């Protein structure tokens, strides 16, 4: 969401938010009307929705049907099973390609992605060091890191760095420091930046392994959940200060979806007016 703000002046792959327009988000909803054979009424789905009671999902939109047999909280589907989880799993296993026994350093280790990377690394048998903005975030006991430190470690030769965000820079207007390139060259360090969209080829493997880890208690999905749309401003600000912890989810709306395409879009307004209340409350990131 910060990348959509008009205050974000650097290159962004997200569309800028215009005051008065509906805000897009990743969330969970229940299908009310569908004109596609792969989605039925009352199906629970996760994907790109909007902040509102109703969302019209057009052809080509990213939408995944939820498996009711998983029996996990709906909030998991916007957190540990969502883009944060995929970024953690894919960034660690596919980009860094770690080996058991290697040393892993996780910056922003209490973030929605960082706290999962630390756990995946421990499950692989790596020695994990996590950094966070304050000791109160309790990394050692909660996230099972080998160490919790508030300082950066020196990279080893032939080290790999995977970058998927710069949360400390999103609201930083000051001059930004450049890395020491001589060290990177002499140590033959590989730095690779990725977007979660690059990792969709490993989604099935990610979901299967993560479900297994959660089922057997090997992985913890840590969330901060706030209630109501009025809680969004303070929750959003909290992501960029010492109160920000793990995945933050706002339970704001009972979202009902209209999955439409082609000529069906012309009847959308009439369909909205006939919709019924009381659908299941859902979560949005």
Q: What is the pLDDT along the chain (285 residues), one digit of tens a residue?
A: 555 555 555 555 556 777 878 888 888 888 988 888 888 888 999 988 887 778 888 777 778 889 888 889 988 998 899 989 999 999 999 999 999 999 999 988 888 898 999 999 999 999 998 887 665 445 545 555 555 554 444 778 888 888 887 665 655 556 665 666 777 888 888 888 888 888 989 999 999 999 999 999 999 988 877 777 777 777 777 766 655 455 656 565 555 666 555 444 444 434 444 443 333 334 444
Fill in the DSSP letter of residue 91: I
CA–CA distance, 184 with 189 (Å, rounded to integer): 5
| Helix-then-strand count for the chain, H and E | 7, 12
Q: What is the CATH number of domain 83-202?
A: 3.40.50.720
The candidate with the shortest Cα–Cα distance to 80, out of 268, 173, 250, 210, is 210
- Compute how many other C-beta atoms are within 10 angstroms of the C-beta atom of residue 253: 22
- Return phi, psi of residue 49, to 5°: -115, -160
CA–CA distance, 35 with 40 (Å, rounded to integer): 8
Are 232 and 31 in contact, with CB atoms under 8 Å apart?
no
Task: Enumerate the CATH 3.40.50.720 domain ranges in the chain, comma separated.
Answer: 83-202
Q: Which CATH superfamily is domain 2-78+222-273 in?
A: Medium-chain alcohol dehydrogenases, catalytic domain (3.90.180.10)
Task: Enumerate the CATH 3.90.180.10 domain ranges in the chain, comma separated.
Answer: 2-78+222-273
Q: CB neighbours of 163 closer than 8 A, spacing ≥ 6? A: 191, 192, 193, 194
């Amino acid at each position: 969401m910060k990348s959509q703000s008009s205050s974000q002046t650097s290159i962004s792959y997200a569309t800028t938010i215009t005051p008065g327009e509906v805000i897009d988000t990743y969330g969970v909803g229940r299908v009310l009307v569908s004109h596609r054979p792969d989605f039925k009424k009352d199906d629970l789905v996760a994907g790109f929705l909007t902040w509102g009671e109703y969302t019209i999902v057009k052809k080509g939109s990213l939408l995944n049907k939820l498996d009711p047999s998983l029996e996990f909280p709906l909030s998991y589907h916007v957190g540990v099973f969502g883009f944060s989880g995929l970024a953690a799993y894919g960034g660690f296993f596919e980009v860094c390609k770690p080996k058991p026994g290697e040393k892993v350093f996780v910056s922003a280790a209490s973030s929605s992605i960082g706290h999962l990377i630390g756990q995946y690394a421990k499950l692989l048998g790596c020695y994990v060091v996590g950094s966070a903005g304050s000791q109160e975030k309790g990394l050692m006991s909660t996230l099972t890191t080998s160490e919790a430190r508030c300082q950066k470690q020196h990279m080893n030769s032939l080290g790999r760095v995977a970058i998927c965000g710069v949360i400390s820079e999103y609201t930083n207007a000051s001059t930004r420091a450049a890395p020491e390139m001589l060290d990177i060259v002499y140590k033959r360090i590989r730095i690779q930046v990725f977007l979660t969209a690059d990792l969709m080829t490993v989604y099935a493997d990610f979901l299967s392994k993560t479900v297994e880890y959660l089922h057997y208690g090997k992985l913890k999905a840590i969330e901060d959940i706030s209630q109501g749309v009025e809680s969004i401003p303070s929750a959003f600000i909290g992501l960029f200060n010492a109160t920000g912890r793990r995945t933050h989810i706002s339970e704001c709306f009972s979202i009902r979806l209209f999955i439409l395409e082609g000529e069906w879009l012309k009847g959308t307004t009439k369909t909205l007016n006939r919709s019924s209340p009381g659908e299941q409350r859902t979560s949005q990131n």
